[in-house]
Amino acid sequence: MRAFVVTKYKEPVQEADVPEPVVGERDVLVRVDAAGLNPLDEGIRAGAFKQILRYRLPLILGNDLAGTVIRVGAKVRGFKPGDEVYARPDKDRIGTFAERIAVAEADLALKPSSISMQEAGSLPLVALTTWQALVERGNLQPGQKVLIHAGAGGVGSIAIQLAKHLGATVATTASAANADFVRELGADTVIDYRTQDFEQLLDGYDLVLESIGGENLEKSLRVLKPGGKAIGIAGPPDPDFAREIGLNPLLRLAVAGLSSKIRTQAKQLGVNYEFLFMRASGDQLRHITALVDQGVLRPVVGKVFDFAHTPQAMQSLAKGGIRGKGVVTVTD
């Protein structure tokens, strides 16, 4: 089958003829109709995670999908051929830039009936990231204040909507060109990151969803109230993450060193820092499906690429600037 693969880190993805997926007894074979584009794809291609995500090359890229069930494993009970589904496959089983993929039943959910395949393909990774940051880790409550960076991006555009649904007051950073867009999504305060300094304008926040890293993360700690929490999805990874993915003691020590500075700063300020590397979850996707079909969450697809143009789609990730998510359409 056709797929787009990384054969060597830092080199462009290439089209390849790869073997058909192996379907285990608890797996679902899915025809991929649409696959979302995520910064994670570009990070993997560039080798940014090669020390902690030990992929074997050549590797089929792609971290979320929407598609149609072709067949199911012998012990699968929740899906049948013809079902329209979506998923973020487990981090060890990625590969949605392909015509077909085998996904564990536990990672899969029926796609929202109210949206297209392209819209559904844009959702799993960013929606799960948002759910795990705001609901699971952040425990965001009505009346609390949350700062969501890069509000016009893939994660930010969903996070603003979910935070408003949870009853929070939402501040976000965006360009002036996207100010009206993020307000329409529900942002109460919009800060133009090019001309304004959010640290000088915000104070007393309960939670920050931080997707940029570096100095931006350090400044984010300083807008939190005592006991507040910054959840970083751009890093640096922390010791809890190293334990979760089963790194050996030497690598755990190295990971701890990567985040020691920011964790020390957080402790001195009386706030908390956590790194989030989202995980696959069909159960959480079912919650997200309900919110989409209720009209609470609206996917934002900024650009659509044909499957043959996946290398160009990957280049767009490196350049940035897409409102919401980019999507590759695999099946006409």
Q: Two tokens at 79?
A: 């899906």
- Return the pLDDT at 319: 83
Q: Where are the domains of the chain?
A: 2-123+299-329, 125-275
Residues 6+ apart with CB under 8 A from 69: 28, 29, 30, 31, 79, 80, 81, 82, 83, 84, 85
Tell me if residue 93 falls in helix, strand or coil. helix
Burial status of residue 46 (CB atoms within 10 A of its CB: 0-12, 13-18, 19 or more): middle
Local confidence band at 128 (pLDDT 50, 70, 90 cut-offs): very high
pLDDT in tens, 50-59: 877 889 999 9
Task: State the architecture of 125-275 in CATH terms.
Answer: 3-Layer(aba) Sandwich (3.40)
Which fold, 2-123+299-329? Quinone Oxidoreductase; Chain A, domain 1 (3.90.180)
- Return the pLDDT at 248: 83
Q: CA 302 to CA 292: how far, in whole Å?
A: 18
pLDDT in tens, 196-215: 999 999 999 999 999 999 99
Judge whether residue 321 has pLDDT over 90: no
pLDDT in tens, 279-298: 999 999 999 999 999 999 99
Tell me if residue 187 falls in helix, strand or coil. coil
Local confidence band at 255 (pLDDT 50, 70, 90 cut-offs): confident
Rounded average pLDDT over 125-150:
98
Checking 236-239 for CB contacts under 8 A at 24+ apart, the result is 236/262, 236/275, 237/52, 237/275, 237/277, 238/263, 238/273, 238/274, 238/275
Judge whether residue 332 has pLDDT over 70: no
CA distances from 226 to 207, 221, 222, 223, 270 (A): 11, 10, 10, 10, 5
Local confidence band at 250 (pLDDT 50, 70, 90 cut-offs): confident
Under a CB-based contact definition with an 8 Å cutoff, are residues 193 and 175 in contact? Answer: yes
Rounded average pLDDT over 60-88:
98
Under a CB-based contact definition with an 8 Å cutoff, are residues 185 and 191 in contact? Answer: no
User: Locate tokens 């950073």: which residue?
Assistant: 173
- Return the pLDDT at 54: 81
- Return the pLDDT at 249: 86
Judge whether residue 65 has pLDDT over 90: yes
**β 205-210/145-148 pair status:** parallel
Looking at per-residue confidence, does 98 or 245 come out higher? 98
Q: Two tokens at 86?
A: 């979506």
Burial status of residue 257 (CB atoms within 10 A of its CB: 0-12, 13-18, 19 or more): exposed
Judge whether residue 113 has pLDDT over 70: yes
How far is Cα of residue 327 from the mean position of the Cα atoms in its chain? 13
Burial status of residue 179 (CB atoms within 10 A of its CB: 0-12, 13-18, 19 or more): middle
**β 27-37/169-174 pair status:** unpaired
pLDDT in tens, 164-201: 999 999 999 999 999 999 999 999 999 999 999 999 99
Under a CB-based contact definition with an 8 Å cutoff, are residues 254 and 241 in contact? Answer: no
For the chain, the average pLDDT equals 96
Under a CB-based contact definition with an 8 Å cutoff, are residues 142 and 168 in contact? Answer: yes
Judge whether residue 313 has pLDDT over 90: yes
Least reliable range by pLDDT among 30-39, 169-178, 275-284, 314-323: 314-323
Rounded average pLDDT over 229-253:
88
